[in-house]
Structure 1
Amino acid sequence: MSTIAIVGGGIGGIVAAFTLKKAHPKHDVVVIEASPNLGGLLGVSHQIGGLSFDIGTHIPAETMIDELDEWLFGALYEDDVWQKITRISGGNYYDGQLDENHHNILSRSTYDDLDDNVKLPEKEINCVDDYLFRFGKYLTNNVFLPSLAKFIPCDAEKLEPEVQRYFALDRLSQHSGSTSPNTRLENSRIHPQGKKIPTAFYTSNGKGVSDWIAHLKVQLEQLGVKFLHGKKTVGFEVDNHKIEKLNFDDSSTFTCNQVIWSAPIETLLPLVSQQSSENFSKYYQRTKIKLFHFVFDIPYLTLCHYVNCFDTHVDPYRVTLYENFSGRNDKQKSYRCTVEVIGERAQNPNLDEAEIFRQLVEMGIVSADTKVMSSHETQVLNGFPIKHLGALSNARELCSEVTDMFKNIHLVGSAEPSTFFSNDVMIRTFTSLQAKLEEGKIT
């Protein structure tokens, strides 16, 4: 019997386990996770008085791959505990205004006249180059760069353009006026008309996304997938360019025939080459995130599911308003809210719950007479990626080196360059492994 080891129990590892066990039901498929929980941040929640708080805005949504969605969400479609959200309602706060209809900064008809025909330079394109080419000088210098600097306090000329997307600063929302199809801005706007929007899911019982992860684990166990928790992989035993054993930090080992690495690539590199790991760290860091969880006594002032905060005069990055998508509404007089603060602002010792609440009132998200029934403050040390220019090309080279070095290792999900958001991880993990299975590379 063949044994497939999946290193990393995040959502990518979960999808990998389903995909491979379905294809090879007689193989041993084992998910190896260093932490006590599956699902990464999706599997972690904070509890206050029986209410759950997610670690950030994590709302599971369909991948638009029928087979995968049936496994991920099949039981949820029929379960009344799970709200089916046909459209996630995101808002944004920018320039002192709360826009409840767009989660990106709203475009304006006057922006169409700002194209100053900036040309792309003949060199590796950085974040500023990309902004200038797509949006021109005014929008780059007065809209995008100040907001980006709020989240990433480093020179944008040293960043990969991909970083824009992590903070919803890669495009504008469509304005209501007429738009010339000949403007570059036309291709940088969100056009939801005529598009099929994936259904999203959230619990209506005060619980969180971790309940979905627990449900997926049960489904994997029913398929015969096994789990090893508390096992950090620190080395390999190799023969003829094939990994035969994984070495763990507790000195135990695990024998396997195939290795699926779904954990972030930076966790793999020290096992392969300390020099490669050190070189990669020059290009790649992660932000720190401070989370403020609140329970309020009365409803919020907005119906948005979440609000992105691009305004540099307030500290939050994003505000999640759970009861607007949980469907609990007035059933209980407790309204959950999580506020994320990123980067240098998260390190400000004077930024406390009282100041965050004041800013929520200032932004028009809650009223001044709202009472804070409970609150909690915590941190996430490994938040959003900060990718310096050259990070993607370096990561691609390193991935090629790893797969050339070991014949039986497969990098999927978070181990692949440019894969960060959970839906991207699920889609790319499934499609990548399906292709490998069809090609006979995983037998």
Structure 2
Amino acid sequence: MTTMQEPFDTAPIPLTTPSVRRRTALTAISVAAGLLMIALNLRMGVASVGPVIPAIERELGIPSAAAGLLTTIPVFAFGAFAFLTPALTRWIGLHRLLALTMVVVAVGIGIRLLPSPVALFGGTVLVGAGIAVANVCMPAVIKQDFAHRLGLMMGLYSTALFLGAAAAAALTVPFMTALDGSWRGALAIWAIPAVLAVLIWTPRAIRAVADSPGTTGGPVDAIAEPRDEPRLTMLLRDPVAWAVTGFMGLQSLSYYAALTWIPTMLQDAGISVADAGLLLSYSSLPGIAAALLVPTMMRRIRPTWLPVLLSALLSAAGLIGLLVAPGGAAAWVWMTLLGLGQGAAIALSLTYIVLRAPDARHTAHLSTMAQGIGYLLAGLGPIGLGLLHAAVGGWIAPVAALVILLAVQAVAGAAASRDRHVRS
């Protein structure tokens, strides 16, 4: 029987020498560092805005509803601009496109320095567009470059998303204070990590070598002939793709709805503004832990739908607990449960994009569908929950609606968890 070792038998220098292994390991580490630096930037430019919205309202004299669009626009942009990714990938190449997204994010953040509401909103759209394309590219790049370490890399990727959002939410106001109350300067600081990401990732983008560590297929950066390119339209008729898309969209809807309205819900229960913000920030910590551990553990858990069910139950328990007993030490328990559930769901949804595609090209198209449609759906969450709260004047109906959606999310996730691929 022919083995993979035969071609090496007559080679003068074995390919498994320590020096080769060291170079391979260093290359893999540098690529992973670049990817994780990019991942940190995929929420910073958005999460940094919420804490300074009151200052923006005061200085620009705009109503709260208009200022609230600064946190809603990016979510819709994540969905709308995601659909540009397949064409951009064919034109630019996947790894080079990922570098370009960070340039766009840095420019968008920089534009918000200009003293104009148009620049503020225009820069926000640009930030959302850059992040949208990067969101789609990341799973495909991980599938290509780290096919042998998918669980680890998806865990680190999900963790980096949480860390970036938590850092931006926690540090933007201190930055504003240090800059004599300049919210523009505080927001502009978050262009620095984007520039660093460009610098770290550019060598990989220029090289764009097909046989990088963990690569198992052809070069994603090569411009494919149409006959070789998997079509997004085929995925629109694929039940596996719709299961992944439904799970991605519903968990994103739940996450952004909770992110937007839980501080208000806590304040209505008598909790101070500062404590409500602290509780929301704290929920990122258990979320980080869940996002890091779940992708590496899920392949060993049976039945495969159990992690999906647990994530939905944890989130539901957290939401119901905040509704029933929001005060005192119990609030920390509920936010712990909610953070664990949301962190697990985000990590699972991103990992299913990678696992349910047979190769990097299909991963890119499945990522386009799941995140494009998913984030458009997610953008309706904060708006719908706000309208429902205004209509009924309380939080029982909005929380009940989120719990029902969590049940639907669990069904979609269970379907996505089945070990099968989308049709090639």
Structure with bigger strand share is 1
TM-score band by shorter chain is: under 0.3
TM-score (norm 1): 0.24
State the TM-score, normalized to the length of structure 2.
Answer: 0.25
